[in-house]
Amino acid sequence: MTDVLRLENVSIEYTNRKGTMRIVDDVSFHIAPGEALGLVGESGCGKSTLALAAMRYLPRGMRVSKGRILFDGADLATLDDAALRRIRGNRVAMVYQDPMSSLNPVITIGRQLVEVPLLHGETDARKAHERAVRMLHEVRLPDPERMMTRYPHELSGGQQQRVVIAMALMAEPALLIMDEPTTGLDVTIEAAILDLVRELRRRFGTAILFISHNLGTVARICDKIGVLYAGRLVETGPIRSVFGTPAHPYTNGLLAALPRIEAGRTAAPLRPIAGTLQAADRARTGCAFAPRCSFAVPALCEAAPVPLVPADGAGQLARCARLDVVAAAVRGERHAAHGARLAGDEADAPVLLSVRDLSKRYPVGGGLSGGVKGEVRALTDVTLEARARRTLAIVGESGSGKSTLAKVLSGLTEASAGEARLGDFDLGATGIDKRPQDLKRRIQMVFQNPDSTLNPSHTVEHAVMRPLRLLRGLSRSAAKAEAARLLEKVRLPAEMLRRMPHQLSGGQRQRVALARAFAGDPQLVLADEPVSALDVSVQAAIVNLLADLQAASGIALVLISHDLALVRHMADTVAVMYLGRIVEYGPADAVFAPPWHPYTAALLAAVPRPDPDAPEPSIILAGSMPSPLEEMKGCPFASRCPRRIDGLCDTTPPPVRTPAAGHDIACHLDLDTLPATL
Amino acid sequence: MARFWAKQLANMAITLFAVSFLVFVLNELSPGDVVRKIIGPYATQDQVERVTQQMGLDRPVLVRYFEWMGNALRGDFGQSLIYKRPVAEVLWDRLGNTLLLAGVCFAIIVPFSVFLGVLAGMRERSWIDRSVSVFSSVCASIPEFAMGVFLLAIFVVGLGWLPGASPLRSGDGWPIWTQLVLPAMVVVLYDSGYLIAMIRTSMVEVMRQPFIRTAVLKGMDFKSVVLRHALRNALIAPFTVILLQINYLVAGLVVVEMVFAYPGFGRMMLEAALAKDIAVIEAGTLVAVFVTMMTQIVGDLGYRALDPRIRL
Ligand code: SF4
Ligand code: SF4
């Protein structure tokens, strides 16, 4: 049987006024009917460009400069517009990242779906309508008939992505291209979408080209994988071989850099990949990964193009000139015991921040005519503690209240009730304007996007010196010296001081943000998704740096994150939030071990593990978080809980169960009936 | 919906009231003596006082204002000083003329600019886009006055195809419609230049949206993508601006009306203001405010019809 999609030595170039750049270099792969291939790689590796090339829809300025792309055996480059239109949407369809913007905001879901069959031969509008309704049902959307009449903005993100998937499947295509289909969705929604894709694949036998930066999601969907680096395919093969015995140093590095949810707080530090991808690396004749590779030998790696050669696993190929050396080294490393980090005892960890019954409510007005319509209960009775030298992680999906909590602590908004004590201050009642300089110094923030705190028109030196002068009152020269020292602490070379923020990579900018945060010698650092905007290989380095800085300065770290694997790696204490409340709280080892709160169990089950043999999650949450406007009588999780006790959970607030001292679970289920398996 | 209308009507009543009062008071405060203007600079002080008394101008502002409003509510807008006719008559006359010109212009401007704007914006930086952009920026940057003179030079002086003035009387041998051509041409070119640029920008923005890619990758041809997916989205942002043109066309054509001696609403307002003809100014202002507020309401409704994300 011919392959559905076949790429033969494809190179793609981008030309603009400044010159020509190779985005994709000599990539070959093929997808047989019903097969699923995952393409992974970090930003700039060319994976999305390849997806668009497979649709022959390259952005302006890009062109396939070499090689062929065959669809169903026909060379895409030779097809005229009409032939192309017959393929698009019909034989090959695409699912995109960010479903909201992929749907037309002013046209009903129904009309957008019905268009597909009407474009591809269906003449009977009623049949097209029926087909659309059936498809909405297939993607498990509630009340498909009504869904047809709704507009995209009326749906949640997860529902929108289901609509996009339904639209892609309308014509039962032979190939489905999914470009980061779950990026930006909450982990429980992601799990549900991935589950749906697996299910649909079984039912329709559609071949899939699945593009992602997340190794875990690829492991859940694909049979084969291709790893891209700087536009080149560096490793490819059956998914089990590549995940089991990664051959290329980059693949190895990616897998070693990932925090694992199975590992504990005392596990070895992550192993980051040195450096970052530079634009010039694309133009290298030899191995593009050489500048970052610890195995690089110029004579072997950089002199001539490195071909893809067979590696250990069946059907596994890797583009590396020193596969044998790398394999031996990796085998050796696996056996070597890592120096485990030690968790200290409580004695050296005094309570620094103590939050008691903190609540935050926002009145919501009823539009221009005025009048209070209701209240958003953003936080309800939150109680927790952060200790010096320890990391408290706050986890939960968007809307869980974790960001509101960060806002209250950092003074951007004031609490409505309860208190958050730091020394003599009640942070909940002290907005940023009321905070004395010294208190500001003691609490620092690190954000997901460092750009929000870095002024683009000032040098790094200026950015780091500012808090030193402002918060620590240093003289100009003292601040200058201190800034240099701080930069060293965050492992940036001294010449970075004179750079502008836009001249730095994302990881470097986050390092500058860390230098700034630690400049005032703080006691408490709030890190709000500090690495989620960074590439995996860079994430690990920042995570390690944060841990080192914490060890050296003894700060209490409050980590706000949706990434449970990261939390598992970093946290000593974990608070799981849902709808503004803490549903489970305790030492990380206890929270990550059974018994779990039903919501914690669902979150843990949803985490995509970078392991193709990981069991399919047995708990898939339906629906989405209810609106915080609703008055909540019983358990906040009742509307989605698979273990709900009807007549009790939705009417009576759950009691707090205590499996061990300091570990709280708010649930009606008895301790021995709480979920214990995922 | 009922609430929406109740709110809009209340809004309008309050605004009309406030504006009429403001105009009345401002007019009172501005320099210049009405009576002097009427009976001439050589009248004696005695005569001035007598006329002032006759016209009731010696009474307090508030009294006169409420008296005027009482009459206005009954549909009596008083007597115009400069035109020596009832205000209502002058007003409807001039308004009719203006609406004729404005209607013709609006009916041309909107389809013309939407067509060119969409055509230019659908393929950014294509040759169509470049030509349309040049055309629109040239049109928008020539002042109405200059454009009027320029067109007069070509069509009246040079070719002799059209009349040089548009008094809307058929006495001089030019049928009425020929008198509309030049003023309309000036307004259309000037105003479209601006609108085309707006619509083009919006269209370019929409064509970059991911949902356009979705439509193309469904297998839809380019024309359908533009008509079915892009057009409506591209009109959302410029929609209010398009409607604002109605205000401009009704009350803002002073320059064109002066250049072509067109007996329109804008010119009437100018003349009345110069003569401190309060009755005409008041009535005209109310009409202008009314038109503005109506277009705003129509704008609101249309906006909602275009964009389902906006709720009533
Ligand atoms: S070819 Fe050389 S530089 Fe490239 S990955 Fe292999 S060992 Fe490293
Ligand atoms: S209290 Fe009820 S609804 Fe809430 S988590 Fe427990 S079982 Fe589920």
- Which chain B residues contact residue A151 at CB under 8 A? 308-309
Would the CB of A637 count as within 6 Å of ligand 2?
Answer: yes
CA distance A645 to A362: 31
Q: How far is B208 from chain A (nearest CA, A)?
A: 10
DSSP B96-155: HHHHHHHHHHHHHHHHHHHHHHHHHHHSTTSHHHHHHHHHHHHHHHS-HHHHHHHHIIII
- Tell me the three state secondary structure of residue B225: helix
Taking the C-alpha atoms of residue A34 and residue B110, their distance in angstroms, rounded to an integer, is 52
| Residue of minimum CA distance from atom 6 in ligand 1 | A320
Residue A494 lies in a domain: no
pLDDT reported for residue B65: 86
Q: Which residue's CA is minimally distant from atom 1 of ligand 1?
A: A320
The ipTM assigned to this model is 0.85
- Judgement on whether residues A283 and A326 belong to the same structural domain of the protein: yes
C-alpha A567 to ligand 1 mean position (Å): 32
What are the structural domains, with CATH classification, of chain B? 2-73 (no CATH), 93-306 (1.10.3720.10)
Rounded to whole angstroms, the Cα distance separating A568 from A607 reads 12
Residue-level pLDDT at A337 = 44
Indicate if A13 and A116 belong to the same structural domain.
yes
Q: Is A56 on the interface with B (CB under 8 A)?
A: no
- A47 domain-assigned: yes
- The pLDDT score that the predictor gives to residue B102 is 93
A584 within 8 A of A395, measured Cβ to Cβ: no
Say which residue, B169 or A642, is predicted with more confidence: A642
Residue partners of A596: CB distance under 8 A and separation at least 6: A584, A604, A665, A674, A675, A676
Chain B: residue nearest A97 by CA? B210
**Beta pairing, strands A417-422 & A351-365:** antiparallel
> What is the pLDDT confidence band of residue B187, given thresholds at 50, 70 and 90?
very high
In a domain, A578, yes or no: no
Please list the rounded mean pLDDT of every run of 10 residues in chain A (678 residues): 91 91 93 95 89 93 94 93 94 92 95 95 93 92 92 91 94 94 88 90 92 92 95 95 93 90 76 84 89 91 91 90 89 58 62 94 64 78 94 92 92 92 91 89 89 85 90 89 90 88 87 91 93 87 92 93 92 94 94 93 91 84 80 88 92 92 93 86
Strands A224-229 and A232-238, sheet pairing: antiparallel
Domain shared by A180 and A254, yes or no: no
Q: Which residues pair with A225 in a beta bridge?
A: A38, A237
- Three-class DSSP labels, A308-369: CEECCCCCCEECCCCHHHHHHHHHHHHHCCCCCCCCCCHHHCCEEEEEEEEEEEEEEECCCC
* Domain contains A441: no
Find where tokens 């439509």 sit: B215
Number of CB pairs, chain A paired with chain B, less than 8 A apart:
75
pLDDT, tens digit, 9 for 90 and up, residues A297-332: 999 999 889 999 999 888 899 999 999 899 888 877
Q: Residue A255 is encoded by which pair of tokens? A: 């897998």
Q: What is the DSSP string of A259-272?
A: --SSS-TTSPPP-P
Say which ligand is closest to the CA of A247: 1
**Which residue shows structure tokens 């002066």?**
B258
How close A154 gets to chain B, by Cα (Å)?
A: 8
CB distance A570 to A617 below 8 Å: no
**Per-state percent for chain A, helix, strand, coil, to nearest 5:** 35, 25, 40
CA distance between the termini of chain A:
40
Q: Which residues of A touch B213 (CB under 8 A)?
A: 57, 96, 102
Q: Is A158 in contact with A185 (CB distance < 8 Å)?
A: yes
C-alpha distances out from residue B172 to A202, B185, B199, B256, Å: 84, 21, 41, 20
Q: Are residues A165 and A115 in the same domain?
A: yes
DSSP letters for A517-584 = HHHT--SEEEEESTTTTS-HHHHHHHHHHHHHHHHHH--EEEEEES-HHHHHHH-SEEEEEETTEEEE
Say whether both A216 and A260 belong to one domain.
no
What does the pLDDT look like over A251-288, one tens digit per residue?
Answer: 999 998 888 888 776 677 888 888 888 888 888 889 99
What residues in A contact B211, CB-CB < 8 Å?
101-105
Among residues A191, A241, A250, A244, which one has the least CA distance to residue A221?
Answer: A191
- Residue type at position B290: F
Question: What 3-state class would DSSP assign to A386?
Answer: strand
Q: In a 3-state reduction of DSSP, which class is residue A228?
A: strand
CATH of the domain at A164: 3.40.50.300
User: Is there a single domain that holds both residue A27 and residue A82?
Assistant: yes
A96 to B210: CB separation less than 8 angstroms, yes or no: yes
Q: Residue A309 forms beta bridges with which residues?
A: A318
Candidates B213, B217, B223: best to mutate against A (most CBs of A within 10 A) is: B217
As given in the structure block, the two tokens for residue B79 are 């007597």
What is the DSSP annotation of A578-633? ETTEEEEEEEHHHHTSSS--HHHHHHHHHSPPS-TTSPPPS----S-PPPTTS---
CB–CB of A242/A233 below 8 Å?
A: no
A438 lies in a domain?
Answer: no
Number of domains forming the structure of chain A: 2
d(CA A161, CA A179) in angstroms, rounded, equals 12
Atom of ligand 2 nearest to the CA of A668: 1
Identify the domain boundary among A197, A222, A247.
Answer: A222
Taking the CA of residue A288 as reference, the ligand 1 atom at the shortest distance is: 4
CB B186 within 8 A of CB B144: yes
Q: How far apart are CA A180 and CA A198, in angstroms?
A: 15
- Angle, CA A596 vertex, CA A648 and CA A215 arms, to 5°: 125
The whole-chain average pLDDT of chain B stands at 87
**Vertex B99, ends B95 and B102: CA angle to 5°?**
135
A573-578/A391-395 β-pairing: parallel
> How far is it, in rounded angstroms, from Cα A56 to Cα A51?
9
Q: Are residues A125 and A256 in the same domain?
A: no
Task: Tell me: do A215 and A183 sit in the same domain.
Answer: yes
A264 in any annotated domain? yes
Return d(Cα A572, Cα A585) in angstroms, integer.
11
For residue A522, how far is its CA from the centre of ligand 2 (angstroms)? 39
Tell whether the model's pLDDT for residue B289 goes beyond 50: yes
Give the C-alpha separation, A412 to A433, whole Å.
9
How far does the CA of residue B213 sit from the closest CA of chain A (Å)? 8
Q: What is the pLDDT of residue A408?
A: 94
Would you state the pLDDT for residue A238?
95
Helix (H) or strand (E) holding A246: none
Contact indicator for A91, A76 with CB cutoff of 8 Å: no
| B236 → chain A, closest CA residue | A106
Q: What would the DSSP string read from start to end of B266-296?
A: HHHHHHHHHHT-HHHHHHHHHHHHHHHHHHH
Tell me, using a 6 A CB cutoff, whether residue A665 lines ligand 2: no
pLDDT tens, A2-25?
899 999 999 999 998 888 989 999
Bridging pattern class, strands A656-660 and A663-666 = antiparallel
* CB distance A318 to ligand 1 below 6 Å: no
pLDDT of res. A336: 55
Instruction: Count Cβ neighbours within 10 Å for each residue of A207-216 and write b for 16 or more, e otherwise.
Output: bbbbbbbbbb
Of A335, A362, A394, the residue that ends a domain is A335
Closest chain B residue to A170, measured at CA? B218
Amino acid at B38: I
| A578 CA: distance to closest CA in chain B (Å) | 28
**What DSSP character marks residue B79?**
B
Residue nearest atom 3 of ligand 2, based on CA coordinates: A638
Are A88 and B236 an interchain contact pair (Cβ–Cβ within 8 Å)? no
Are both A188 and A258 inside the same structural domain? no
Mark out chain B residues that contact chain A at CB-CB < 8 A: 3, 7, 209-211, 213-221, 228-229, 232-233, 236, 306-309
Q: Which residue among A335, A361, A383 closes a domain?
A: A335
Report the residue from B211, B233, B236 with minimal CB separation from A102.
B211
B229-283 tens-digit pLDDT: 999 999 999 998 899 899 889 888 888 998 888 999 988 998 888 888 888 888 8
Asked if residue B308 lies in contact with residue A104, where contact means CB atoms within 8 angstroms, the answer is no
Contacts of residue A540, defined as CB under 8 A and 6 or more positions apart, other chains included, come to A257, A258, A259, A270, A271, A272, A273
Interface residue A86 vs chain B (CB under 8 A): yes
Place of tokens 């997808």: A31
- Angle, helices B127-141 vs B87-122, to 10°: value is 150
Whole-number pLDDT of residue A365: 63
Q: Is residue A484 in some structural domain?
A: no
pLDDT digits (tens, 9 = 90+) for B75-114: 788 888 788 888 888 888 899 999 999 999 999 999 999 9
Q: Which range of residues forms the domain containing residue A262?
A: 238-335
My answer on whether A181 and A218 are in the same domain is yes
CA of A72 vs chain B CAs: smallest distance (Å): 17
Residue B147 in tokens: 């454009």
Q: Is A153 on the interface with B (CB under 8 A)?
A: yes
Mark whether A138 and A172 lie in a shared domain.
yes
Contacts 24+ apart (CB under 8 A), B76-83: B77/B279, B77/B282, B77/B283, B78/B279, B79/B279, B80/B272, B80/B277, B80/B279, B80/B280, B81/B34, B81/B37, B81/B38, B81/B275, B81/B276, B81/B277, B81/B279, B81/B280, B82/B271, B82/B272, B82/B275, B82/B277, B82/B280, B83/B277, B83/B280
A206 and A247 share one domain: no
Report which ligand 2 atom has the smallest distance to the Cα of A597: 5
Tell if the pTM clears 0.90, that is, is over it. no
Return the HEC string of A78-145.
Answer: HCCHHHHHHHECCCEEEECCCHHHHCCCCCCHHHHHHHHHHHCCCCCHHHHHHHHHHHHHHCCCCCHH
Q: Tell me the C-alpha distance between A276 and A503, whole Å.
A: 13
A410 CA to centre of ligand 1 in angstroms? 46
